[in-house]
């Protein structure tokens, strides 16, 4: 079956799939409760998922049994988190499903969060990344993030250092390059965008 990609705000019903990906992607992972807070409570948070609506959700079977009223969902192939506070954007997390890496999904998610930050009128975006995480650093550098510092022993699980990376959004030429790149990504992947221009619909349940 062909894929049909939908970029949209994360819902509470997505959290089991998101946590499953998170557990395979981060040490330590975020808890389901942390995601629930980001989705339902935090007014700073703009959580995003990329969903293949033709893909079968691995939790649909059990969920339909336990919650027969719940909407059946597609397969979450990646997700990300953007915080926006007083002119600062902060990429809090980003991951692609381990079985679907290298297919451009991480790039869609990063580009979408940069675009959302621009539409929120952020002045700059920051993030932290493990010094050993060359794949993620490559992705960020492709979008012109620059290393601006180091946080020693930032990751408490193993004391690895983090690089601080930053993208300045004041540069009009950079924004023009970004717009061009975002248009190319949209043309290549053909996803429905229900995220980059829309306000976050805070919800208590899906």
Q: Cβ of residue 61: shortest distance to ligand COA, in angstroms? A: 25
Pick one of 101, 120, 154, 160: the residue that binds ligand COA (CB under 6 A).
101
Q: Does 81 bind ligand COA (CB under 6 A)?
A: no
Q: Does 122 bind ligand COA (CB under 6 A)?
A: no
Q: Does 159 bind ligand COA (CB under 6 A)?
A: no
Rounded distance between C-alpha atoms, residue 119 and residue 197, angstroms: 7
Residues 6+ apart with CB under 8 A from 49: 7, 8, 9, 10, 11, 14, 18, 76, 78, 79
The residue whose Cβ lies closest to ligand COA is 106
Q: Cβ of residue 101: shortest distance to ligand COA, in angstroms? A: 3
Q: Are 11 and 206 in contact (CB under 8 A)?
A: yes
Pick one of 10, 82, 94, 185: the residue that binds ligand COA (CB under 6 A).
94
- Which residue number, 47 or 136, has a Cβ lying nearer to ligand COA? 136
Q: Cβ of residue 148: shortest distance to ligand COA, in angstroms? A: 15
Q: Does 133 bind ligand COA (CB under 6 A)?
A: yes
Q: Cβ of residue 150: shortest distance to ligand COA, in angstroms? A: 14
Pick one of 43, 65, 69, 102: the residue that binds ligand COA (CB under 6 A).
102
* E strands, 55-173, in order: 75-85, 88-96, 124-130, 146-155, 160-168
Residues marked active site are found at: 128, 140
For residue 110, which phi and psi values (nearest 5 degrees)? Answer: -65, -45
147: left (phi over 0), alpha (psi -120 to 50) or beta: beta
Q: Which residue has the tokens 């705000």?
A: 9
Pick one of 9, 30, 79, 105: the residue that binds ligand COA (CB under 6 A).
105
Rounded distance between C-alpha atoms, residue 191 and residue 75, angstroms: 14
Q: Are 13 and 206 in contact (CB under 8 A)?
A: yes
Instruction: By CB under 6 A, name the binding residues for ligand COA.
Output: 25, 94-96, 101-107, 129, 133, 135-136, 138-139, 142
């Amino acid at each position: 079956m062909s894929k049909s990609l939908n970029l949209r705000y994360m819902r509470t019903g997505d959290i089991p799939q998101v946590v499953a990906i998170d557990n395979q992607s981060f040490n330590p992972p975020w808890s389901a409760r942390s995601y629930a807070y980001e989705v339902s409570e935090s007014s700073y948070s703009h959580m995003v998922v990329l969903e293949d609506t033709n893909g079968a959700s691995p939790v649909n079977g059990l969920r339909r049994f336990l919650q027969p009223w719940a909407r059946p969902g597609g397969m979450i192939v990646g997700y990300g988190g953007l915080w926006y506070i007083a002119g600062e954007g902060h990429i809090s997390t980003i991951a692609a499903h381990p079985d679907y890496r290298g297919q451009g999904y991480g790039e869609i998610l990063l580009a979408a969060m940069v675009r959302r930050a621009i539409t929120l009128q952020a002045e700059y975006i920051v993030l932290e990344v493990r010094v050993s995480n060359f794949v993620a650093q490559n992705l960020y550098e492709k979008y012109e993030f620059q290393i601006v510092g180091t946080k020693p022993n930032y990751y408490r699980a193993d004391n690895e250092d983090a690089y601080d990376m930053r993208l300045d959004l004041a540069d009009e030429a950079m924004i023009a390059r970004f717009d061009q790149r975002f248009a190319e990504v949209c043309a290549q992947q053909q996803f429905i965008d229900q995220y980059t221009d829309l306000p976050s619909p805070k919800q208590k349940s899906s």
